[in-house]
Amino acid sequence: MQIDEAVLKGVVADVLRKLQEQASGSPVADSKKEDCGCSCDGACSRGELGVFQNATDAAAAAKEAQKKLRKLGIEGRDKVVKIVKATCAEKAVEWGELEFAETKIGRLEHKIAKLQGIPNLPGVEWLAPRGMSGDHGITMEENTPFGVIGAITPVTHSIPTLSCNIVSMVAAGNTVVFNAHPGGAKCAVAAVREYNKRFKAELGIENIATIIEKPSLDSFNELCATPDVNLLCVTGGPGVVNAAMKSGKRAICAGPGNPPVVVDDSADLDKAAGDIIMGAAFDNNLLCIGEKQIFVVDKVYDQFIAALKKAGAFQLNAAQLDRLTKVAFTFKGDGGGCSHPVVNRDLVGADATKLAEIAGTSAPADTQMLFAETDEGHLFVIEEQMMPMVPVIRARDIDHAIEMAVKSEHGYKHSGMIHTLNVVNMGKMARALDTTLFVKNGACVAGLGMGGEGYSSFSIATTTGEGITTPDTFTRRRRCVLVDNLQMY
Ligand code: NAD
């Protein structure tokens, strides 16, 4: 028989408390009722305002909430969407600061900007039914909810992913349980409390979004196992994507990327340099869509390096890059005699000036991005570094540039960019790279509506192919058929 560690701890704590009470003759405070800072007097362990101690309870509560939400129809879902959007707009600065203080990665102004972008997400209007009419009657296909969704969120955008997921999932009629990254869980919990307070006040329903207060691999496994969760949505790196795919539940996976950018000899080099710095330096390159390596054709290579410097990027020389690389990556054995590189988490989302210091130099205080000339096999090219040090690689010509870009993307099918005025080269790279997002002549963020047309999302389902997630992504398509009647002709 397996004994659950948490249960065992609880039993021991109860026994000790009772012994203390017997000895002192007065009641002793229950240590399970921790001060969670929400004036609930320990009620959080019962799930006050959506915050739960385990996945099973969180999912059961979300299931109850989904039944109630269903009764409120599309109008009720729309209210939830509007509350989330309005709260993000109102609390962008407060929540941006909260997330920045907890995760200590990225840049505050961009954490705020991400939350300010939530109101642009599509809502209930996105759910278009499809109708058919013919000699055999009428048929309607509708996008209906799955029920309860288990969502895993990354440390790189904790509250933005959570908020974005609530909008898309609840617009589709679902409720959701979050297992946040432990490094960004406190701010996620604060957001869930605030949302539930507002949901309760306006709709009379709590637990439309629930969260596990102290997430862990165990709580993730419990979330995958509970029958109350009908679908998983994972936003994260390869580890969690693999774990979710093996769980036996259907999983929509917004997995890792390593987006390349190609610059050819027809490009506006100054604009390309500015766009690349903007995209790669956004939140210190924490974005999964962010430019991670640059391939430049030989003909304009030197001019492009000059354009990067002119636009404010700071160049590391070979020795400096070497010093930084030794700190930025470590090698982990896999027990089989091989080892593989692992990005040093302490440098993920670090400021460019800090990276320059580690490299043994000093960059001006306003530097947003570092770059260095490397070959295509360099660790900064191969690995998803998530820091504002972007390698630049010389390509013989456009075909060579695209070939190296494809290799560096590892078939993640995530994102890629090209700067060119040559439509043939645009098409060539689009087809070869086969990514979910492909931006031409803009920063990566243009692919999510910041400077380009379209809506945004913080969960881009690259691995499983649903693409940029919208309310539609979280629906089951169901068909309703009436035979030989109700057609109007
Ligand atoms: P991460 O993989 O370390 O963590 C993501 C989530 O998975 C966290 O909640 C974490 O606690 C959990 N987790 C990690 N390993 C797990 C395992 N083996 N089993 C169960 N749960 C596990 O990623 P991160 O550092 O938080 O985020 C960065 C990664 O996420 C990058 O690879 C980035 O490209 C990717 N990402 C993708 C998208 C997208 O839309 N495709 C969006 C944001 C981030």
CA distance 63 to 441: 45
Is ligand 1 within 6 A of the CB of residue 153? yes
CA distance 171 to 78: 6
Strands (DSSP E) contained in 172-276 are 175-179, 209-212, 231-235, 251-254, 260-263
CA distance 295 to 376: 9
CA distance 253 to 243: 11
Distance between Cα 293 and ligand 1 center (Å): 21
Residue nearest ligand 1's atom 16 by CA: 240
Q: Is the predicted pLDDT of residue 38 greater than 60, yes or no?
A: no
| 215-271 confidence digits (pLDDT tens) | 999 999 999 999 999 999 999 999 999 999 999 999 999 999 999 999 999 999 999
Is ligand 1 within 6 A of the CB of residue 252? no
| 442-485 confidence digits (pLDDT tens) | 999 999 999 999 999 999 999 999 999 999 999 999 999 999 99
Burial class of residue 208 (count of CB atoms within 10 Å of its CB; 0-12, 13-18, 19+): buried
Which of 177, 220, 233, 286 is the pocket-test mutation for ligand 1 (most atoms within 8 Å of CB)?
220
Q: At what angle do helices 73-103 and 55-71 cross, to 10 degrees?
A: 150
To the question of pTM greater than 0.75 for the whole model, the response is: yes
b/e string for 446-480 if b means 16 or more Cβ within 10 A? bbbbbebeeebbbbbbbbbebbbbbbbbbbeeeee
Which of 240, 415, 460 is the pocket-test mutation for ligand 1 (most atoms within 8 Å of CB)?
240
| Angle ∠(120,126,127) on CA atoms, nearest 5 | 155
Is ligand 1 within 6 A of the CB of residue 255? yes
Q: How confident is the model at residue 76 (pLDDT cuts 50, 70, 90)?
A: very high
Read off the pLDDT of each residue in 41-51 and give the average, rounded to a whole number: 69
What confidence score (pLDDT) does residue 193 get? 98
8 Å CB contact between 185 and 215? yes
CA distance 166 to 150: 11
What confidence score (pLDDT) does residue 334 get? 59
Shortest-distance atom of ligand 1 to CA 157 = 43
Q: Give the position of tokens 């001060």.
A: 35
Q: Does residue 273 sit in helix, strand or coil?
A: helix
Residue nearest ligand 1's atom 19 by CA: 240
Distance between Cα 154 and ligand 1 center (Å): 5
Q: Is the predicted pLDDT of residue 16 greater than 70, yes or no?
A: no
What percentage of the chain reaches a pLDDT higher than 90?
A: 88
Q: How confident is the model at residue 170 (pLDDT cuts 50, 70, 90)?
A: very high
| 386-423 confidence digits (pLDDT tens) | 999 999 999 999 999 999 999 999 999 999 999 999 99
Which of 114, 187, 288, 342 is the pocket-test mutation for ligand 1 (most atoms within 8 Å of CB)?
288
What confidence score (pLDDT) does residue 340 get? 79
Distance between Cα 1 and ligand 1 center (Å): 33
What confidence score (pLDDT) does residue 341 get? 86
Q: Which of 400, 369, 388, 379 is nearest to 295 (CA)?
A: 400
Is ligand 1 within 6 A of the CB of residue 237? yes
Residue nearest ligand 1's atom 14 by CA: 240
Residue nearest ligand 1's atom 9 by CA: 181
Read off the pLDDT of each residue in 105-109 and give the average, rounded to a whole number: 98
At 161, list the tokens: 């992913």
- DSSP-based helix, strand, coil % in the chain, nearest 5: 45, 20, 35
Distance between Cα 22 and ligand 1 center (Å): 48
Distance between Cα 48 and ligand 1 center (Å): 27
Residue nearest ligand 1's atom 2 by CA: 237
Q: How confident is the model at residue 336 (pLDDT cuts 50, 70, 90)?
A: low
Burial class of residue 139 (count of CB atoms within 10 Å of its CB; 0-12, 13-18, 19+): middle
Is ligand 1 within 6 A of the CB of residue 162? no
Shortest-distance atom of ligand 1 to CA 243 = 19
What confidence score (pLDDT) does residue 327 get? 97
What confidence score (pLDDT) does residue 332 get? 77
What confidence score (pLDDT) does residue 10 get? 46
Q: Which of 386, 389, 391 is nearest to 356 (CA)?
A: 389
Average pLDDT for the chain: 92
What confidence score (pLDDT) does residue 47 get? 77
What confidence score (pLDDT) does residue 428 get? 98
Q: Which ranges of 25-117 does DSSP label H, i.e. alpha helix? A: 55-71, 73-103, 108-116
What confidence score (pLDDT) does residue 23 get? 55
8 Å CB contact between 389 and 371? yes
Q: How confident is the model at residue 339 (pLDDT cuts 50, 70, 90)?
A: confident
- Bridge-based pairing of strands 329-333 and 339-343 is antiparallel
What confidence score (pLDDT) does residue 368 get? 98
8 Å CB contact between 460 and 289? yes
DSSP labels, 371-408: EEE--TTSHHHHS---SSEEEEEEESSHHHHHHHHHHH
Q: Give the position of tokens 């390593």.
A: 258
Q: Which helix (H) or strand (E) holds 190?
A: helix 185-203
Is ligand 1 within 6 A of the CB of residue 257? yes
| 214-226 confidence digits (pLDDT tens) | 999 999 999 999 9
Q: Is the predicted pLDDT of residue 40 greater than 70, yes or no?
A: no
Q: Is the predicted pLDDT of residue 24 greater than 90, yes or no?
A: no
Instruction: Tell me the CA end-to-end span of the chain in Å, nearest whole number.
Output: 68
Residue nearest ligand 1's atom 3 by CA: 237
Read off the pLDDT of each residue in 23-46 and give the average, rounded to a whole number: 47
